[in-house]
Amino acid sequence: MDDLYREVIIEHYKNPAYRGKLDPHDISFADNNPLCGDHIQIDLRVGTDGTVTDARFDGHGCAISQASADLLIESIIGKPLEEVKKLNKDSVLELLGIELGPVRLKCALLSLKVLKAGVYGLGEAGDDLVE
Amino acid sequence: MFVNFHSESPLTINSMTLNITEIRKDFPILQRETRAGIRLTYLDSTATSQKPSSVIQAMDDYYRQSNANIHRGVHTLAEEATAMYESAREKIAKFINAESARQVIYTRNTTESINLVAYSWARANLKQGDLVILTEMEHHSNLVPWHMLQTERGIELEFIPVTEDGLLDLETYKALLDRRPKLVSFTHMSNVLGTINPAAEMIRLAHDAGAITLVDGAQSVPHLKVDVQSLDADFYAFSAHKMCGPTGIGALYGKAALLESMPPFLGGGDMIKEVKLRSFRPNTLPHKFEAGTPAIAEAVGFGAAVDYLNGIGMDNIAAHEHEITEYALERLEEIPGVKVFGPSADKKGGVAAFTLVGVHPHDVAQILDRDGIAVRAGHHCAQPLHEKFGIPATSRASFYLYNTKEEVDLLVNGIYKVKEMFG
């Protein structure tokens, strides 16, 4: 339990390095977690070689959802989109370094769902994107 | 800095109105620990109440002794089961002072009761351009059925605004009534703000304007004495599970003439008088609206819950909750950074939805859970209301007949711990 509020998570929640918006951007997508109303928008800039050159997230939510978004954005800058497409639930849990129950897992995975829906150009951030 | 109540025993109780020590013994779940040495502090009764032994026992006895399908059988068990199912209906009817038990339709819950009105009455009576008045403090269950009808039929929706202090703006309501709505549908008590709306007055005004009324009583029936006749409500919807009964069963009260005039909702067994290959004749009330094998054990539990609440007395319950709520609001508002939503204690039921500056309600709830304190976090199925107040979510503590001031103290200490953690 205390793990859930590891210092790194509180730190990323209170002082996120990648909160904000990118204008212009190449990809932008936003969605909500219908269970709790958490909201995340992700903006990406993509280089001609298909690499993420810059990224930001914005929105509101609990410490888990916001910290995982910040960690996720940090991890994808400089990566090819093809690699971003391969990210899944385990990638996020690895970034957070904690175990999560089913309810809080939804909080943690919202940013990845939004990211992948944006990268694939989908209309909705579905659960299947993070399996 | 924190007083550790867990090490203190036994629980001291101070209520002017009820013997809470005795009442707590009726609820087995309140004796459990959520982890070693941490007793459960259940402050989430607005979501669902806990169940007394008498309700659990009644359902258990039904399955052990009397289980059979109802209404069609002639054997002993079928007769017993039918009698139990119908006598529970009579208890429920008396509990809300319905004219007769046939005006109490069993449903799955308040949501299904509202949907029954939306599918049966509204689809038979509303056409494009007809106005339905709702309020900004509605639960999704009293919004979405009307959104769906708006899409399907082109009805119009207007909303009675909520004021800054969490009350309905009745002046705007009166102005909206000039537009001759067909239906006014509103919650008797808000599940977020706790506001107890002036239902009798709102119904009178609606009737003066020629409108039918539907009241969402999910939060009021468990906590207040509700008299559908003195309210003059046309429809009144509520759930068993918020009033010490089981999940899976609720009720819709309706005025007899309205229910008689309405087409059936779901088709199937038990709702018919006669079926031919190409036609059917619907059954009489209340069976017309109860297709298929219903939740029989749950109906029995619903009846036992009514018995339990009657045994304690709804006036006593309301007085006890008022005392707790007054104390909770006072203590919560002392905490720097805490903002409680809704009106003052004299205008609300036992609900305290709050925000803590800098900490998301989910995190508040999760950290409180470590001390065994169960509160809810989120938009509580009232997203538009949260938008109105410019917040995505709140933490919500709610109180029932078994809660104590000591539990409020535990909550307050827990919030101080959250503050310390998020520094």
CA distance B379 to chain A (A): 6
Q: Do B378 and A14 touch (CB under 8 A)?
A: no
> Considering only CB atoms, which chain B residues are within 8 Å of A1?
370
The pLDDT mean for chain B works out to: 94
- Look up tokens 């009805």; give the residue: B155
ipTM over 0.90: no
Cβ pair A62:B422 closer than 8 A: no
Q: Which residue has the higher pLDDT, A69 or B423?
A: A69
Q: Tens digits of per-residue pLDDT, A24-46?
A: 999 999 998 877 778 899 999 99
Chain A touched by B370 (CB under 8 Å): yes
Taking the C-alpha atoms of residue B270 and residue B293, their distance in angstroms, rounded to an integer, is 8
Chain A residue nearest residue B362, CA to CA = A62
For chain B, domain boundaries: 5-39+313-422, 55-311
Active site annotation includes B244: no
Query: What domains lie within chain A, and their CATH numbers?
Result: 2-120 (3.90.1010.10)
Least Cα distance to A69 among A101, A31, A35, A34 occurs for A31
Interface of B with A in 60-79 (CB under 8 A): none
User: Is residue B136 scored above 60 in pLDDT?
Assistant: yes
Nearest to B421 among A5, A37, A107 (CB): A5
Q: Which fold has domain B5-39+313-422?
A: Aspartate Aminotransferase, domain 1 (3.90.1150)
What is residue B13's DSSP assignment?
A: -
Q: Which of A60-64, B129-133, B343-347 has the lowest mean pLDDT?
A: A60-64
Element counts in chain A: helices (H) and strands (E): 5, 3
Q: Do A107 and B362 touch (CB under 8 A)?
A: yes
Those residues with Cβ within 8 angstroms of residue B89's Cβ, 6 or more apart along the chain or in another chain: B101, B104, B106, B286, B299, B303
Residue type, B331: R
- pLDDT at site A102: 81
B361–A104 CB contact, under 8 Å: no
**DSSP secondary-structure letter at A43?**
E
Nearest CA in chain B to A103: B362
Top CATH class, B55-311: alpha beta
Mutation target vs A (from B357, B364, B366, B367; most A CBs, 10 A cutoff): B366
Report pLDDT for A33. 80
Q: How many Cβ pairs closer than 8 A exist between chain A and B?
A: 47
Query: Which pLDDT does position A5 carry in this prediction?
Result: 83
Mean pLDDT of chain A: 90
pLDDT classification of B17: cutoffs 50, 70, 90? low
Phi, psi of B73 (to 5 degrees): -75, 155
Give yes or no for residue B215 having a pLDDT over 90. yes
For the stretch B293-351, pLDDT in tens is: 999 999 999 999 999 999 999 999 999 999 999 999 999 999 999 999 999 999 999 99
In this complex, do A36 and B362 lie within 8 Å of one another by their Cβ atoms? yes
In this predicted model, what pLDDT tens digit does every residue of B52-63 receive, in sequence order? 999 999 999 999
Q: Chain A: residue nearest B395 by CA?
A: A36
- Tell me which of B125, B381, B391, B417 is the catalytic residue: B381
Q: What is the per-residue pLDDT for B72? A: 77
Nearest chain B CA: its distance from A62 CA (Å): 5
